[in-house]
Every structure is written in structure tokens, then in C-alpha cells.
Amino acid sequence: MKTTLLYIFTFFVIARGNSQTGGVKGKITSNNKPVEFVNIGLTGTPYGTTTNAQGEFSISNILFGKYELQLSLVGYQKTKKEIIVNSTAPVISNLEIIPIDNQLNEVVVTGTMKEISRAESPIPVEILTPKLFLKNPTPNLFESMQMINGVQPQLNCNVCNTGDIHINGMEGPYTMITVDGMPIVSSLSTVYGLSGIPNSLVNRIEVVKGPASTLYGSEAVGGLVNVITKNPIEAPLINVDIMATSNEEYNIDLGIKTQFKKAHSLLGINYFNFQNILDKNNDNFTDITLQNRISVFNKWSFERKEKRIATIAARFVYEDRWGGQTHYENKFRGTDSVYGESIYTNRYELIGIYQLPVKAPLYLQYSFNNHHQNSYYGAVPYMATQNIAFAQLYWNKTINKNIDILVGAPFRYTFYDDNTAGTQSADSIYPVNKPQNTYLPGVFAQSSLKLNKLTALAGLRYDYNTDHGTILSPRLAFKYALNDNNIIRLSSGNGYRVVNLFTEDHAALTGAREVIIKSDLKPEKSWNVNLNYQHFFILTNAYIGTDASLFYTYFTNKIIGDFNTDPDKIIFDNLDGYAISKGIAANFDIAFTNGFKAIIGATYMKVYSEQRDSTGIYIRTPQLHAPDLSGNFSLSYTFNTNFSIDYTGNIKSPMYLPVVPNDYRPERSPWFTLQNIQISKKFKNGVEVYSGVKNIFNFMPKDPILRPFDPFDKHIAENNPNNYTFDPSYNYAPLQGRRFFIGVRYNLFKSVQ
């Protein structure tokens, strides 16, 4: 037996020794740069290697024949190429691999108002794509923002569920929301406008933490969120996403692309419905507002000579929402019989950009929106209308590939009117309605200079406001690239906010009050310094992106309304003091070749104000709804190309809350976490099915409403030694417990022949 095995072994050794072998060698590049650690293999064989620092590879002792050469590296598309190994070794010369989902090559526009790679931008910009939001599907943009490190969607009312976006602990009014770079979500519309933006029309979201007024003007004090809508040319022909939850929330997204000669159209329709009265904490108030909302979006892109840009988009949003006592009906709207907060919202938007047919790179941006709100807060009516018209002409030129110049002239007009005393003239006998009309023309200039590894950017903006006069906003930033994978950024800038004196606070007023504005009223301002470091690790079987920032923001001139000094007046004045937001934030983006991906972020910050009292001593007050420590994570594993599991969540440390004197509720929230899990399956025909659980641990805040049994304060003198009044503002987390969800998506990119 041993002799037989020896003969067989000897035969195969001789046969193999007589077989002809050859080799293959070459160089792998991306964007004309060599790529290290690319996995090179011949499909179905043990032959393989990796590229060196010069992107070169070599495989020898390959049996003659035809093979499939496969290239793979985390963050790049898999590339395949047929080769024949014979007596002449094939040479793969500069074979390109294409990057995908790689932060080194992401394109951003928000920091500099032009498309450049994220690695080249001197302004640190965070990019969020729908792929991230699909890991924890939500019906609108507001809820999706919870997945962004340092960004907090904050609910401000437990009855109507209105909210805003906090960046690094700064309050919502200091976060500017733009759509395609234009300020159409602002002031009044911020409260309800965010929940009306469906994820289906979003191509990506870009976030700048810190002032951005040099390019974007008023309101960009604490940060900027720029929602970039989909390009009709690149969108799928048909996109459908239908989702339902065990709480009986139903959301439908539909997108249809059409083409008429050289015009491409994208029609998006979103419908959200929730009509299930829930009261899991048994306070006789709805935990979640009932909503019926529809959003219709239509964007056109026109192909023109020399690839000039021309797009126009329109959107309509209608929403009917109410929250209140569980036995509320529409017949009680505006009465003091049963408490309810009912809001009807009608909103129209128009946005566009047009590249003028001249030799110079000259662009015209324009937008208009009309926002009308018909609402009752109990028995108090609040009827408000806001119109914002915006136009901006800007010129951008690159000289010798190293100098970039941007010059622009923006103009913004805001009209605001409501039914409160805040928009009435000071006439004690016959008050006359006096809407707010604000004009904000300006000019800005920005230039960047690239010198080898160093890029310097400087900018200055001049605005003239009809109420505040001249406002200057400077900006200075530097980027130093130690190499392609190590980037340091240092930026500093100024932001300002032209105050909108007319807000929903006026809904709490009764009778006529004279509005008094101090003659020396100044616009709110902030100064920010941000030090950012990015490092990318390209390993044999993994890609790791790290991003860390130190930030410091000094905030002055906060404008507050004094409603107590004189019962017949509202006196507006600047705060005698300042506010500080400082901290550190870190993000980690990790992907392995085995299908595991992780996005982890954390922010530690201190946010507070220092106000001078009557004796001249500064008193420190911590910022409400600003946890010292917060973090979020997204862990994903793809078992194959079609089946995946996503585990997402966030965690927050205690934050200060709006308590009342002698409040029995804690002044700080507890540590809490909201976590979710989802499984999804993709099919070859473009269908994807997904299902999961939100808020796995069923966390809900306690006692969110003070005295819910007496919402009209009719019995505050009865058994009420602490003089409590009805107050629904004690909020730090959504009032939604554990719920299951299921959904289906369908994408068709090519016509069926």
C-alpha cells in the first residue's frame, strides 16, 4: 500500500513539474495615485497577493490558462478582469479601482459653495447619506437627525410635539436649515418645516458645526444643516418605500423620474398618517400627536450647452396635527372645554439655480416660500403667515488650479404677520396691524490659496439689515495635509442672527401689548474656533476613518423679551452677559472586508451662559437640553450581498430641564439610551424587505406634563400649595415606547425592455 501511494505521489510531482507555469504583475491606481494593500486574486484558485506602497504586485508559478483576476479593497468597487497566463507574463498597467462610500472622495459644497472633495475642503463638513438613515428608517428628516453625532433633534412641547435642531448644545434658533443652499426653512417654519421634509427627496445632508454666516448670512450662528435634494438625472426611474409600525404609523414615499427631450423630472410624493390615540403613561394626554401629512416635490434639471447648470424645484406641504386630552375632538378646537393643540399647516416652496449664458462662471440662485399656520393652543388662537424671498448672484473662478475666488451678492426679504399684539401698532384705542418686513441685502467675497500641502481660506461678508444696520462676518480657515491620509484643519469665524421678535411665545399673550425695542438693540453674534484632525487607515482587510474636533464658541448679544416689568408692554433687549459652548467630538467610520461596518461618534461638551446681576456679579446658568456627554452608533453586518442586519442607537448623559419653582420632578434627566435593530433582505428584481424594533428597551420620560388634569388652570387654587400651573415643556426624549416596524422598498434604475 505504501509503495502504491509513493508511486502516485511521485507521478503528481513529476506531472506538476512538467506543467508550464507563468506569472502576472502590474500596478493598481485610483485617481492616478497608487493604492496600497489591494487584494489581488485569481478567482477559484489559491493564487493571490496584495499591492505594495507603490501599488505594485506580482504573482508567479501560475499554471498556464485563462483566469479571472479580481481586485478588492474596503471602500472600493470590486474589479474583475480576464487574463491569459502563458509564456509571456501579462502586465496589468495602471488598472484603476473606483472608490465607493469612502470619506476621502466624498463631494461637499456647503463649506465653500462649490463641489470639491471632502479631503480638499478647508472647512470641516460632515456628510450623511440616505444609506445611513435607512439603517433606522424614519418618516421625516427631523427624526433622522438623531443619528448624527453632536446634533440633537429636540422636542420642545409634549402636546404638539414641535421641535428644532440643536448643534453642540446651542438652541434651535441658532441652527440654520437650508435646502440646496437656500434659506427656505427659517423662523416660524423651523418649528414644523423639518417634519415635512421626507427622506425620499434627500441626496445627502451636509453639516457644518459652528458659524457659517460668511456665506449663508443670518441664523447660521451655531451651525448649518444643508439638505441637498436628489438630481433627477441620477435618480432611479421608480422608487417606492412603504413602512408601517405597530403603533399604526403609516408612511409612503413614491419617486418617479421622467425625461422630456433634454429635460429630466423627478416627482416625489410622501404621505404620512397616524391616527391612533396612545396614552401609555396614563396622564389623559396623547403621547404622540396625531398627524395627517402630504408632501409633493417636483424637481427639473435641464441639459444645456457646455453643461451649464439649470434646475428648478417646487414643493407643497399640508399637515393637520393635533395633540391633547385623549377625548379631544375637532368640535372642541379653540374652546376651553377639552384641551387640544391643533395646527393646520400649508406651505409652498420654490427653489432653483441657473448658470447664466456668459463666458464668466456666473450663477443665479433663487427661492421663495410661503408658510401659513392656522393653530389653536387650547383656547388661544395663533394665526401666522411668513414669506421669504431669496436671490443670490455669485461668481466663482479657479486660477492656475491653486487660487479659487468666490464673490456673491445675496438679497433676502422676510414678511411675517400674526394675530397677536406683537404685530400691532402702539395705538391704545384702535390698534393697527403692523406686519414685520425685513430686508437683508449684502455682498461677500471668499478666496482660497493652495500651496503644496497647505490650503488657506479667507472670507468676509457685509450685510445691511433694516433693523440693525451694518453687519460684518469674517472667516479664516487653514488645511494642512501631512499626507493623503492625515489632514489637520483650523477654522475660525463669526456668525450672526437677526432676531425674529415674533414667535409662538406670543400665543400665550392676551390683550394688547405695546412692543418696545431698545434703540441700541444689537444682532446676536457668535465667534467660533474649531481644530479638526482626520486620519484614514487603509489596511489589508479594513478601512478606518477617524475624525476628531475641539470646538469653542463664544456667544453674545442674546436678545430676550421682558414680559414682566410692565404688563402692558413687551420690552426687547440684549442679554447682559455671554454664553459658551465648548467641547470635543470624535467620529469613527470602520469597514471590514468580511461585511462588518461600524459608525461610532461621541461628544463631550459644556454649554452655559454667564449673566450679570444687579450687583455686577456674573451668575452661571447651564444650558437646558444640552447633555455633557452624548454618543451614537450604527453597527451593520452584511452576511452576503443581499442580507444584512443593522443595530443603531444613541446614549445621553443627564441634561438640565425646564423645571418650575418647587418642582417635584428632577431638574436633570437620567442617563438614557434609545436603541433599534433592523434586518433587511434585497432581491435581484430591485425589491428590498426590512423589519425591526425601535426603542428596544422601551424607554419613556416620566411626568412630561405638569398638572395634566387642569390644562386650563381653572382650579389652581385648589389643593395646590406650590402654585403649579399646566406646563408641557418638560421633555428630553420622545414619548414613544417600544414598537415594531416593517417595510418594503423598490428601486428601478433601467427601463424594462
As a whole-number percent, the residues of the chain with pLDDT over 70 amount to: 84
Instruction: Answer whether residue 509 shows pLDDT above 60.
Output: no
* 15-96 CATH fold: Immunoglobulin-like (2.60.40)
- Higher confidence at residue 471 or residue 211? 471
Q: Which strand (E) or helix (H) includes residue 204? A: strand 202-209
Residue 10's pLDDT is what?
Answer: 43
Mean pLDDT of the chain: 82
Tell me the pTM.
0.81
Q: Can you list the positions of beta strands (E) in 275-427?
A: 290-302, 310-324, 340-355, 362-377, 380-399, 403-418
How many other β-carbons are positioned within 10 Å of the β-carbon of residue 717? 8
Arithmetic mean of pLDDT, 68-83: 75
Residue 28's pLDDT is what?
Answer: 86
Q: Which strand (E) or helix (H) includes residue 496? A: strand 486-497
Dihedral, 711, 714, 715, 716 alpha carbons, nearest 10: 80
**CA 288 and chain centroid, separation:** 23
CATH 2.40.170.20 location in the chain = 227-748
Residue 568's pLDDT is what?
Answer: 62
How many other β-carbons are positioned within 10 Å of the β-carbon of residue 367? 23
CATH 2.170.130.10 location in the chain = 116-226
CATH 2.60.40.10 location in the chain = 15-96
Q: How confident is the model at residue 192 (pLDDT cuts 50, 70, 90)?
A: low
Strand 39-42 versus strand 542-556 pairing type: unpaired
Residue 344's pLDDT is what?
Answer: 94
- Higher confidence at residue 410 or residue 48? 410
Residue 390's pLDDT is what?
Answer: 92
How far is Cα 169 from Cα 457, in angstroms, rounded to an integer? 27
Arithmetic mean of pLDDT, 662-691: 92
* Nine-digit cell string for 665: 420632578
Instruction: Answer whether residue 19 shows pLDDT above 50.
Output: yes
Residue 513's pLDDT is what?
Answer: 53
How far is Cα 201 from Cα 144, in angstroms, rounded to an integer? 13
Arithmetic mean of pLDDT, 57-75: 80
- Higher confidence at residue 140 or residue 637? 637
- Name the DSSP letter for residue 623: P
Instruction: Answer whether residue 697 shows pLDDT above 60.
Output: yes
Q: How far, in Å, are 133, 147, 491, 588, 674 from residue 596 at the CA level? A: 17, 18, 34, 14, 22
- Name the DSSP letter for residue 727: B
pLDDT tens-place string over residues 216-235: 777 777 788 888 888 888 78
Q: Just give the CATH number of 116-226.
A: 2.170.130.10
Q: How far, in Å, are 590, 638, 681 from residue 644 at the CA level? A: 16, 4, 7
Residue 340's pLDDT is what?
Answer: 93
Q: How confident is the model at residue 310 (pLDDT cuts 50, 70, 90)?
A: confident
Arithmetic mean of pLDDT, 271-290: 93
Residue 514's pLDDT is what?
Answer: 62
Listed residue (368, 463, 365) closest to 109, CA to CA: 365
Alpha-helical segments (H) within 432-479 = none
Q: Just give the CATH number of 227-748.
A: 2.40.170.20
pLDDT tens-place string over residues 719-753: 888 888 888 888 888 888 999 999 999 988 654 33
- The answer to whether 524 and 556 are in contact (CB under 8 A) is yes
How far is Cα 67 from Cα 47, in angstroms, rounded to an integer? 11
* Nine-digit cell string for 515: 412692543
Q: How confident is the model at residue 147 (pLDDT cuts 50, 70, 90)?
A: confident
